[in-house]
Structure 1
Amino acid sequence: MSHQLPSDPAPTPPLGLLAQLDLPDPDSYDELRDAEGRLRPAWQRFFQWLPAQETPADFDRRLELIAQQIKVDGVTHNIHSAEGTAARPWSLELMPMLIEPSDWAAIERGVSQRARLLDTMMADVYGEQELLAESLLPPALLYRHPGYLRPLHGVRPPGGLHLHIAAFDLARDAEGDWWVISQRTQGPSGLGYVLHNRLIISRLFPEAFREMRVQHIASSYRRLLDTVESQARLVAGGTPRVVLLTSGPYNETYFEHAYLARYLGVPLVEGGDLTVRADRVYLRTVAGLEPVHGLLRRLDDDYCDPLELRPDSTLGIPGLLQAVRAGNVVVANALGSGFLESPAVQGFLPAISRRLLGEELLLPSLPSWWCGEQAAFRAVLPTLAERVVRPAFPDPGRRRATVPGEAGVADWVRRIQGDPDAWMAQGRLMLSRTPMWRSGAATAGAAMLRVYAIADTERRWHVLPGGMTRVATRSPLSVSMQHGGSSLDTWVMTDGPVDTFSMLPQRLRVDDIATRRRPVSSRTAENLFWLGRYTERTEQAVRLARALLNMIDADGDPPPPVLDALCTLAVFNGLAAYGTPSASRAPQLFERNVLAALASGARKPAAGQPRAPVTSVAGHLGALEYAASALRDRLSPEQVNLVRRMAEEFNATFAGLDAALPTVSLAMPALDRLGLQLAAVTGAQTDRMTRDHGWRLLTVGRLIERLVGMAHTLHTLLELDALKSAAGVDLVLELFDSTLTFRSRYQRHEDLLALVDLLVLDDANPRAFAGTLRRLRTELGKLPGTASMLDALRERLPVEGAGITLDELRDLDDEALRLQLCVLARRLQDAGARLSDDVGQRYFAHAEGGDRLQRV
């Protein structure tokens, strides 16, 4: 039965915001109000610092600001389903989770104790194994768990610390006491989202945040980095290099990997960026191999080394375990902690704590029964229908946690008896209810708090004063971001001084400067290279599509050679299907084909059918978006957001058409807008990025794509004899984006020689062959490498100019000039393709002896 907030003769406006919020079930703790329906002290203070006339509309506006900021920052969470992986905007609620100082003191003591216990357990099971000898930990829970890595038994990490960070999921019972639900030790996720949540919510309620003395969290991030660096320094013997290891853009929390790497100031790398040589880990960079001494990993244990763990993993680093055994790299957290995440371990922790720490656990775990112990199984059997049955070990073939119910008990008993070690039963806890604001009204959600314990350089444990509160409106028993959950900022109030620490460390020393210049990994360089190529390729496709639709829709009839050349280029660039009759023979058919290709990115497959491959402009946009998403730690949020928005808005133009074709009047404005957006992307790449080796490779990629695309365009137009008419001249000028310059220089002249002057020989024209080649030679010369290696790259190109001079064209008639230009265009197209291969081999694949080990 629900109860309304007691009536107040003169309610304040903030109380009025909550007047219709029902009290939760009495079995759940109400974070907002006490048993009598009065606001708890923390919420009284929160509303005290809101504007006196706050209305539901004001709350709705604040909620809109959250959505806008998340969109601007490109904060996403990848959702995995049978249809594939989709990035959805991160879900953040308006109202924070409030934790009083007394509650936090209990959490802090209990969580730091548990983190210390788990680290001590790691040292034992990979060392003396006294817990096994004294039967405090069943061997089956250890040896059968895939998270226990036998190859690392006897290995002590540099500095002796196995765990640098541990996460614990907590929840309140009906009396308000905190319980530990689960623990995460491999690569605890959420720290990046915690930071971003704080930045948004604290700005929406600045007075309340300040006056309620909410503890700051920046020092915890500094502590994590300092601890890893201090241990990595034992390996490096000097200033260490620490990187953040991610599984890549398809990871569900990839945004936070990139965000955290940028905040900590460390390179974000994937397994393919690293290699092991002579039992040491190296980062593949465009300048060669550079040593890595510490890994902050966000990759589960079994994927980390395909040589000794999962052989099918393409995410890890072959030989990493050997480098760990040799003591040449610090991995945070140490490999092999996965067994600690088993819920079956929880039931054995009280006795283990008494044995290893000489202490009783300060925070209780949910009651747990491991079915591998016959006495435990018999004890829980009478109440099994009410318990949560969970797999004791990770296994994709087993069902998720479930409550059997009376009807399912017999089936579950048979299943458990078939393999009792693999199952455990756990008590149930109704999660507390916390207020949320949705669509003009208050509601409540079931809340679970994830907190993070971080070790310092003295191996003492500290708890980040806050964390990530996850909420669900559906189930009062569990919360999952993958299944529609949302998040809250978590405010921990303090009676003492507020920590005003900033991530800005002490004054830099001269020796620190070199380490602050991030190396450009080969994968990053390759993504930047293709970011440049796809930016240019998309620009060319948009310009070509506009020219084609304008020409087909024009009142007059263009000469057939011009239409044939334009259609050939359209097919080559994916704007129309191979085999489509030219527009000179079937203009309406070709136009429909082009319009269908433009709308291909918005087509949804029929039920049960796979999505058709996306072609045309949408395909280029998809490739561009993927390259940008893989560079979130290198590009500004504005750039990433702009690239994503381009694809969304272009495809959304055609999304409501279903099977119908778009019209030219619909497609042309979309292409015009996309052209403006691409100009903004190019401007950001040109003027808003540091000129390091990565930027140079981006520029080289764009220039190579321009050279190859322009050469192919000119060759096609010349080969099909399309430049003998005014329409052909207008077309080539439009495709080369040189109409204004040509008309101001040559007025009404349309000679082929005039086109050669502007589009081939003019090195001041960025769209001319000579101008493109001049810049390309310059940027190639500034890439890392020996003089002979850079000379070899530039030898693919003409020594100067466009490879042809004006004197060489003297006395040639138009036909001879056309043939000579065809040869030049084909030669430059081949040169660009070969140069692209050479750049890839040298900087991305490290072929032909390109790996140069630097001294450790």
Structure 2
Amino acid sequence: METRAEESPEGLHYKAAGSGYDEVYGSESEIQPHWQYLLDGLKTLGAPGISERQQKAERILRDDGATYNSGFPSSATWQLDPVPALIASEEWASIESGLQERAELLDLVLKDLYGNRELIRHGVLPPELIFSHGGFLRACDGLSLPGEHQLVMHATDMVRDHTGKMLVIGDRTQAPSGAGYALENRTVMSRVLPSLFRDSHVHRLSIFFQSLRLKLSSLASQITQEQPRIVILTPGSYNETYFEHTYLANYLGFPLVQGSDLRVSKGYLWMKSLGGLERVDVVLRRVDDFYCDPVELKSDSRLGVPGLLEVVRSGRVIVANPMGSGFLENPALLRYLPQIANHFLGREAQLSSVKTYWCGDPQDLTYVIEHIDQLVIKQCFRRPSEHSIFGSELDEPKRLALIEKIRQEPLSFTAQEYVRPSTTPSWKNNQLLPRPSILRGFSVAMDSSYHVMPGGLTRVGSQSKSLNLSNLRGATSKDTWILASEPERQISLHESQPLPMPTPAQPRIAFPCRVVENLYWLGRYAVRAEAALRLLRTVFVQINSTYHMPKETEQVLLQTVTQLTTTYPGFTLSGSPKSAQPEAELLSVVLDGKRSGSVTANLNSLLECSDQVREMLSADTQRVINDLRDELGGLAESLKQGLTAAPEEALDPLVTTLLALSGLWQESMVRGLGWRFIDMGLRVEKALQAVSLIRASLVPVLPKYQQQQVLESVLLSSEVLITFRRRDRSGSDMAQGLQLLLSDSSNPRSVFYQVDQLRKHLAELPSATNGSGLADEDRYMLEASSAIQLCQLEELVVEDEDAGTRVELDQLLSRLQHLLHETSNQISTKYFDQIKVHQQLVRTDWDEEL
């Protein structure tokens, strides 16, 4: 077998496989000119330099939160090869022209399928190919977008055959994914290999996203003369490409919404925001067809908006791509594209498709069964859980089972000839190795044609013989460089004629209620976790202290852990063996993620809230959250030796990371509604945690020495022990300690400080009052503030000998807890959208088939 290689002085070399087409060498034995500069640059870097660049890329992707969710609850950092894929500008011109034409052709097919259906009438397409396919939606018949094009975005998967010819193996038209990942790849590579990138004169990607933004704005102008509201509809944070949804939302400047954030009312589509209902004009959807409207499509969908299709019919909202475009993803359509091209264009398409057979055709069925070992079998209707089947990989029983399934449902299966993909250099095991590659190209509609992204998303297999080059199967992505012969002019993302901005008197609230709810709970979970960590850290120190701790003191501290974290029954049962041997229970409070109130459970909830509002978080905030995720992942290992190995030290990094997160919110966030709700969550929870801590630890009466130990432990946990010791104390230690914890306006951790900040926030919220006096939440906080300021500390610390508690202190704290909980309830009722669970009244068999 012939081997082609280019040696380097450092041993860094690239050997192409002896058969098939290679991107570097083509069909020849010499390196193609457009690869020479990159390979020379990689040789200069050497293996250590490339590995260092790869590690830097991984850090950037990790810091950016770039993930690909392979399935709930797991997600992995997006994988990027540090060696880009190169295409010469001259060759790209031909590919670009072919992609433009293909998008135009599929657009014509889409218009015809939901219009006059001439392709059926003229015998170009068999009716059963269309009407048997789940992607053809009868409810969408007759729908059309304003303007020349129906298909707004289009993605095409392509491979090279052994001659170097580019062939299409599939199309994505419902909610084409990958463009955002291509942009992230480009951002990372321009930082990892800045000189090589700059000197290679790589075509930039910004014009593609500018075109997308302009197209959506143009569509919106067809139905409104006011400033349009364009949103990106996502299935949510568990979708595999959720990072891309948030990335595009930030890059394009559109709100990211879920189905629950929208509603249909009075014939229009609205977004539920803090300012009330805001009309939506255009929806860029990342939700598949069937899930968009549970009324007319998939009745048990929770991802769409009930009644959306009716609003689309009325022309009062535009959905891109239009619902029903999923039929164009049918791989069987490739079988008939030559005839379709002749029908519409009068000639063959520039960009050929791989040879395809549809089992609904008797002759094709016979051929597929006889040659199944040489073919790739695909379902006509693509489901997320199903993948292409390579006949060459099947053993005899599986092959016979597949043939039987095809015979039973011939209309549902398509077969394609296997085209061995071209190989391209990939950095594996500290060397450049040939790996099979596939390219996804993207196009977006313009006024008269389509604009093609000058690049795309290249995927390479993890092994030299990888067949299925999908992200779900472990493929790695590459940045795709289209090399210009001269520097490309800079192009801004902003429109040349920007849309009118809202007046300062009427600011538009750019996010839905769900977002502020998650921001609010993000703050609350952060404080919950921090308070628990601080107390546990203090308890670990006290238990392991060389000083003797009386059993009564230890018991109060352990019960405080249970009451603060609400991990009942915990240490609250009298005579419980957990109190005598507290290690297992304390570690459970830290590590048991299934236990409500545990540190791990609260941190997991915090991370989930952060995923829901990722588009609202800065890069630095995302970095700190990733650090938190990493620290949490290693916590069990750090604590495996239990209380004998200074467990408080394992908790320190988590506390520090949470403090960094709080610092970013306080110092880096614009003082808008997003920050206000995070801070309100922080203040509510800090107040509740402080009240719970005081009530659990200082209400019980202990002998003086033991009481002092408990008080100092509480002050240490609250970070005011040093202040307490340095102050001149005129009263009892207990009263002075309470003053610091409860009513000191200069202490940012005191209960009064939190209440005071909450009152200020509530006064600034939209619709804070209804014109009939104080709102309920304002009254609650006024009462809490007054109660704290009017209390007499020396009276609060008076002991009731019969009850063994400080009764007045307990009553005050109980009232404060009630007022804080009621305030939180009022905030939730007034400002957060309470998602109602809709009960499906009728089960339909066709839902299961979908």
User: Contact (CA 8 Å) 1:157, 1:324: kept in 2 or not?
Assistant: no
| Deviation digits for residues 715-758 of structure 1 (CA, Å, limit 9, x no counterpart) | 22244225952112212322333223322223596433323432
**Counterpart among 528, 531, 534 of residue 540 in structure 1:** 531
**Counterpart among 288, 291, 304 of residue 292 in structure 2:** 304
Task: From the superposition, tell whether residues 108 and 232 of structure 1 become closer, same or farther in structure 2 (CA, over 3 Å).
Answer: same
Q: Which amino acid aligns with 1:679?
A: L
- The match for 2:598 is 616
**Counterpart among 698, 703, 717 of residue 697 in structure 2:** 717
Tell me the distance in 1 between the aligned counterparts of 2:703 and 2:739.
15
- Alpha-carbon distance, 1:270 to partner: 1.0
> What is the TM-score with the length of structure 2 in the denominator?
0.91
Task: From the superposition, tell whether residues 164 and 513 of structure 1 become closer, same or farther in structure 2 (CA, over 3 Å).
Answer: farther
- The match for 1:695 is 675
- The match for 1:5 is 5
Tell me the distance in 1 between the aligned counterparts of 2:585 and 2:384.
44
- The match for 1:259 is 247
User: Contact (CA 8 Å) 1:595, 1:661: kept in 2 or not?
Assistant: no
- The match for 1:854 is none
1:472 corresponds to 2:461? yes
**Counterpart among 58, 73, 97 of residue 67 in structure 1:** 58
Tell me the distance in 1 between the aligned counterparts of 2:142 and 2:531.
59
Tell me the distance in 2 between the aligned counterparts of 1:519 and 1:109.
38
Q: Which amino acid aligns with 1:47?
A: L
Tell me the distance in 1 between the aligned counterparts of 2:329 and 2:806.
71
**Counterpart among 214, 224, 236 of residue 236 in structure 1:** 224
User: Contact (CA 8 Å) 1:112, 1:463: kept in 2 or not?
Assistant: yes
- The match for 2:316 is 328
RMSD: 2.7
User: Contact (CA 8 Å) 2:638, 2:650: kept in 1 or not?
Assistant: no
Other structure's SS at 1:815 match: coil
Tell me the distance in 1 between the aligned counterparts of 2:741 and 2:695.
13
- The match for 1:24 is 17
- The match for 1:216 is 204
User: Contact (CA 8 Å) 2:570, 2:578: kept in 1 or not?
Assistant: no
User: Contact (CA 8 Å) 2:275, 2:509: kept in 1 or not?
Assistant: no
Tell me the distance in 2 between the aligned counterparts of 1:592 and 1:682.
30
**Counterpart among 449, 452, 457 of residue 439 in structure 2:** 449
Q: Which amino acid aligns with 1:592?
A: A
Equivalenced residue count is 823
Q: Which amino acid aligns with 1:780?
A: L
- The match for 1:594 is 586
- The match for 1:529 is 520
Return 5+ residue gaps in structure 1 as ranges.
Answer: 602-611, 849-856
**Counterpart among 25, 49, 55 of residue 58 in structure 1:** 49
- Alpha-carbon distance, 1:626 to partner: 1.1
Tell me the distance in 2 between the aligned counterparts of 1:813 and 1:12.
80
- The match for 2:708 is 726
1:793 corresponds to 2:761? no
Other structure's SS at 1:734 match: helix
Tell me the distance in 2 between the aligned counterparts of 1:529 and 1:406.
55
- Alpha-carbon distance, 1:160 to partner: 5.1
- Alpha-carbon distance, 1:247 to partner: 0.9
Listed as ranges, the matches of 1:387-536 within 5 Å are 387-394=375-382, 400-403=388-391, 407=396, 410-456=400-446, 458-474=447-463, 475-495=465-485, 498-506=488-496, 511=501, 519-536=510-527
Task: From the superposition, tell whether residues 802 and 590 of structure 1 become closer, same or farther in structure 2 (CA, over 3 Å).
Answer: farther
- The match for 2:842 is none
- Alpha-carbon distance, 1:138 to partner: 2.1
1:347 corresponds to 2:335? yes
- Alpha-carbon distance, 1:571 to partner: 1.9
- Alpha-carbon distance, 1:653 to partner: 3.9
- The match for 1:636 is 618
Tell me the distance in 2 between the aligned counterparts of 1:546 and 1:756.
21
Tell me the distance in 2 between the aligned counterparts of 1:148 and 1:79.
28
Q: Which amino acid aligns with 2:83?
A: M
- Alpha-carbon distance, 1:582 to partner: 6.9
Task: From the superposition, tell whether residues 697 and 204 of structure 1 become closer, same or farther in structure 2 (CA, over 3 Å).
Answer: closer
Deviation larger for 734-743 or 260-269: 734-743
Tell me the distance in 2 between the aligned counterparts of 1:795 and 1:706.
20
**Counterpart among 535, 540, 552 of residue 543 in structure 2:** 552
Other structure's SS at 1:469 match: strand
Listed as ranges, the matches of 1:151-162 within 5 Å are 151-159=139-147, 161-162=149-150
Tell me the distance in 1 between the aligned counterparts of 2:372 and 2:685.
65
Other structure's SS at 1:685 match: helix
Tell me the distance in 2 between the aligned counterparts of 1:195 and 1:575.
45
Other structure's SS at 1:787 match: coil
Tell me the distance in 1 between the aligned counterparts of 2:626 and 2:604.
9
Other structure's SS at 2:782 match: coil
Task: From the superposition, tell whether residues 261 and 664 of structure 1 become closer, same or farther in structure 2 (CA, over 3 Å).
Answer: farther
Task: From the superposition, tell whether residues 332 and 509 of structure 1 become closer, same or farther in structure 2 (CA, over 3 Å).
Answer: closer
> What is the TM-score with the length of structure 1 in the denominator?
0.91
Other structure's SS at 2:642 match: coil
Other structure's SS at 1:633 match: helix
- Alpha-carbon distance, 1:53 to partner: 4.0
User: Contact (CA 8 Å) 1:74, 1:641: kept in 2 or not?
Assistant: yes
1:803 corresponds to 2:787? yes
- The match for 1:604 is none
Tell me the distance in 2 between the aligned counterparts of 1:23 and 1:509.
52
- The match for 1:609 is none
- The match for 1:121 is 109
Q: Which amino acid aligns with 1:429?
A: V
Deviation larger for 479-488 or 374-383: 374-383
- The match for 1:106 is 94
- Alpha-carbon distance, 1:151 to partner: 1.1
- Alpha-carbon distance, 1:614 to partner: 7.7
Tell me the distance in 1 between the aligned counterparts of 2:760 and 2:565.
32
Q: Which amino acid aligns with 1:23?
A: A
Deviation larger for 748-757 or 196-205: 748-757
- Alpha-carbon distance, 1:777 to partner: 0.4
User: Contact (CA 8 Å) 1:385, 1:406: kept in 2 or not?
Assistant: no
Task: From the superposition, tell whether residues 97 and 236 of structure 1 become closer, same or farther in structure 2 (CA, over 3 Å).
Answer: same
Tell me the distance in 2 between the aligned counterparts of 1:574 and 1:25.
64
User: Contact (CA 8 Å) 1:431, 1:478: kept in 2 or not?
Assistant: no
- The match for 2:84 is 96
User: Contact (CA 8 Å) 1:170, 1:448: kept in 2 or not?
Assistant: yes
1:777 corresponds to 2:769? no
- Alpha-carbon distance, 1:810 to partner: 7.3
Tell me the distance in 2 between the aligned counterparts of 1:547 and 1:155.
65
- Alpha-carbon distance, 1:2 to partner: 5.4
Other structure's SS at 1:22 match: strand
1:133 corresponds to 2:126? no
Tell me the distance in 2 between the aligned counterparts of 1:54 and 1:202.
16
Q: Which amino acid aligns with 2:67?
A: T
Deviation larger for 836-845 or 515-524: 515-524
Return 5+ residue gaps in structure 2 as ranges.
Answer: 837-850
Task: From the superposition, tell whether residues 666 and 130 of structure 1 become closer, same or farther in structure 2 (CA, over 3 Å).
Answer: farther
User: Contact (CA 8 Å) 2:237, 2:611: kept in 1 or not?
Assistant: yes
Tell me the distance in 2 between the aligned counterparts of 1:379 and 1:78.
38
Q: Which amino acid aligns with 1:762?
A: D
Tell me the distance in 2 between the aligned counterparts of 1:148 and 1:486.
33
- The match for 1:662 is 642
- The match for 1:672 is 652
User: Contact (CA 8 Å) 2:698, 2:710: kept in 1 or not?
Assistant: no
- Alpha-carbon distance, 1:248 to partner: 1.0
- The match for 1:814 is 798
